[in-house]
Amino acid sequence: MTESNERRETTHGPQRTAHGLLALMTAVAVLTLGYHPYAEDGGVYIAGVKRLLDPALYPRYTEFVTEHLRFSLFAPALAALTRLLHIGLPWTLLLVYVGSIWLLLYAAWQVAARCFPAEEEQWARAGAVGLTAAWCSLPVAGTSLMMMDPYVTARSIATPLVLLAVAAALDIPRQHTHAFLKCGLWLGLVALLHPLMAAYCLGFVLLVVCAQARRIAVRRWSPAALGLAALLAAGALQLTAHPESAAQTAVAMTRFYWFPWRWEWFELIGLAAPLIIVTALVRLSLRERVAIHLGDAAVWLGVVSALAGFIFARPEMASHIVARLQPMRCFQTVYLVMTILLGGWIGQRWLRHKTALAAVVLVLAAVGPFFGQRAYYPASSHFELPGVAPRNAWVRQTGSPAATAATNAIPAGPPVMLSVVPPTSTQTVGSTFQVAVTASGARDLSSVPLSLQFDPRVLSLVNISSGDLLARDGQGVAMVRNDPSPGLITINASRPPNASGVNGQGTVMTLTFTATAAGDSSIALVKVAALSSSQSNLPAVGSQAVVHVK
């Protein structure tokens, strides 16, 4: 073998190993996450894509599916890709989903390669990628985010691009102009997809660059200066914001994840744990200078965003402008850095040349997140694939989320108004009270699927019973309930399949609550639908009420 062939083999061998590892870990991540393309934010983003593919869709209340299109190129890009591939939107979504996970793991590998650069540190890089794959469904404290979603949104692409920008920022002290241009390119792409993530990514990149400064004084004081500037900017924004109306405040109160003061104790632990872990790695375990600098920058990012959230995102404030910007979502990046550094350290310290042990550690790391995902989507298949009949009873009854708006015409006329009606707006701790969900303007109404949200720290849902509206003419009412998370329930109240619909107004269901603690809780219909006896969509509008518990 010639010398040139030896060099080529030496180069291509590790590359083939890296590509194989990324493919294998992509399969592990997909298996752990599952696939639920129309869940949560996925349904909102994909509705916008469908609207671009077929402007005749969503002729009423169009702003609900088009509002986010003003701030992101994600939906136009996905619509263009769908037209280009000619395989249909469902299969395009699945392709982009798998591709986005591969890109996340590739970006994690790139960051790990900077943190553990020696050729013999392949096991450290493998550990970083493996733990990222196993933990990609990890919830990010109380932010309502995960490291990666089991569906496709702008965040799915922006998240790996953030890591690529961080990898380029780690190269700036050595490559200068080239690395700076690469970092700017990745940041620009993030901005086109998710401007808010780009702003927070820019802040983190600046922290990474400052943490690598040659002068000790710059490394020591510039992160503090950047953090102080960010807090002053948040304070100025809060002071100059106009007070919100009562209706705006009521809507803001339904977003519990905006307000860290309203998080559960275990969510607060999820806030502190990554900072403690990264600090311990930086101070006690890691030897590589770049890894230490990255960890320092991540801790600064977490501390500053936590301060901004606890100081300026408080429920009692007259304006919630900072809360709407969700500074705590920076912890998604902190979690990713923690996972890469921890996985790299485990691979470096414990898994070197121990393939069987590495496989056992990977399985143990993925078991908890896998069952967490199954518990979060208990009524659905783990993989909701195109062309496969849905297992979810509600989806089977109301129609596929991918096709409902396209196949069910919305009749003309005023919408069905669904209202939340508590007996009084003030309750005492320990009291039990009933809240009616009423409908008015019903026309051939046969089924009411809805999602209801409340603060589980203030209220406890005791019982749900059917009301008089759907039970008219003596028909039985089927009540199907699901509790996907604390404080969020989905309910479907429906008449028998062959029964005609009802008209007019009345009570759809009655909810019995117990007031468990002092505080304010909105009871909000966050998602509503109304179906006729032919299972066609009727226009429907939800509402909410606020209960004060003393």
Do 497 and 369 have their domain in common? no
Do 320 and 178 have their domain in common? yes
Do 86 and 21 have their domain in common? yes
CA dist., res. 151 & res. 406, Å (int): 21
Average pLDDT score, the chain = 87
Cβ burial 470-490 (10 Å sphere, 16+ → b, else e): bbeeeeebeeeebebeebbbb
Assigned token pair, 134: 């196993």
Do 209 and 323 have their domain in common? yes
**Is residue 398 a part of any domain in this protein?**
no
Do 343 and 437 have their domain in common? no
Query: Nearest to residue 398, comparing CAs of 446, 329, 453, 341?
Result: 446
Do 108 and 163 have their domain in common? yes
Q: pLDDT per residue over 492-519, tens digit each?
A: 999 988 888 999 999 999 999 999 999 8
Do 334 and 244 have their domain in common? yes
Do 355 and 412 have their domain in common? no
**Is residue 96 a part of any domain in this protein?**
yes
Q: Give the domain range for residue 471.
A: 408-549
Instruction: Say whether pLDDT at 170 is over 90.
Output: yes
Burial of 35 (0-12, 13-18, 19+ CB in 10 A): buried
**Is residue 400 a part of any domain in this protein?**
no
From its phi and psi, is residue 505 left (phi > 0), alpha (psi between -120 and 50) or beta?
beta
Global pTM reads 0.75
Instruction: Say whether pLDDT at 259 is over 60.
Output: yes
> What's the total number of domains in the chain?
2
Q: pLDDT per residue over 240-249, tens digit each?
A: 988 888 777 8
CA dist., res. 33 & res. 150, Å (int): 6
Q: What's the pLDDT band for 402 if we cut at 50, 70, 90?
A: very low
Cβ burial 236-265 (10 Å sphere, 16+ → b, else e): eebeeeeebeeeebbbbbbbbbbbbebbee
Q: Three-class SS of residue 170?
A: helix
Longest dimension (CA), the chain: 90
Q: Which residue has the tokens 């908890």?
A: 368
**Is residue 403 a part of any domain in this protein?**
no
Report the relative pairing of strands 530-532 and 432-453 from DSSP bridges: antiparallel
Do 344 and 435 have their domain in common? no
Q: What is the mean pLDDT of residues 280-299?
A: 91
Taking only Cα atoms into account, the Rg of the chain, rounded to an integer number of angstroms, comes to: 26
Strand partners, 70: none
Do 282 and 420 have their domain in common? no
**Is residue 487 a part of any domain in this protein?**
yes
Do 178 and 317 have their domain in common? yes
∠ CA 53-541-389, rounded to 5°: 50
Of 355, 376, 397, which one is at a domain's C-terminal end?
Answer: 376
Q: pLDDT per residue over 87-100, tens digit each?
A: 989 999 999 999 99
pLDDT at 395: 65
- Contact yes or no for 38/401 (Cβ under 8 A): yes
Do 454 and 532 have their domain in common? yes
**Is residue 390 a part of any domain in this protein?**
no
**What CATH code is carried by the domain that includes residue 496?**
2.60.40.680
**Is residue 381 a part of any domain in this protein?**
no
Of 376, 399, 422, which one is at a domain's C-terminal end?
Answer: 376
Of 326, 356, 376, which one is at a domain's C-terminal end?
Answer: 376
pLDDT at 325: 92
pLDDT at 433: 94
Residues 6+ apart with CB under 8 A from 110: 163, 164, 167
**Is residue 394 a part of any domain in this protein?**
no
Q: How far is CA 167 from CA 286, 375, 478, in A?
A: 18, 34, 54
pLDDT at 349: 87
Instruction: Say whether pLDDT at 434 is over 90.
Output: yes
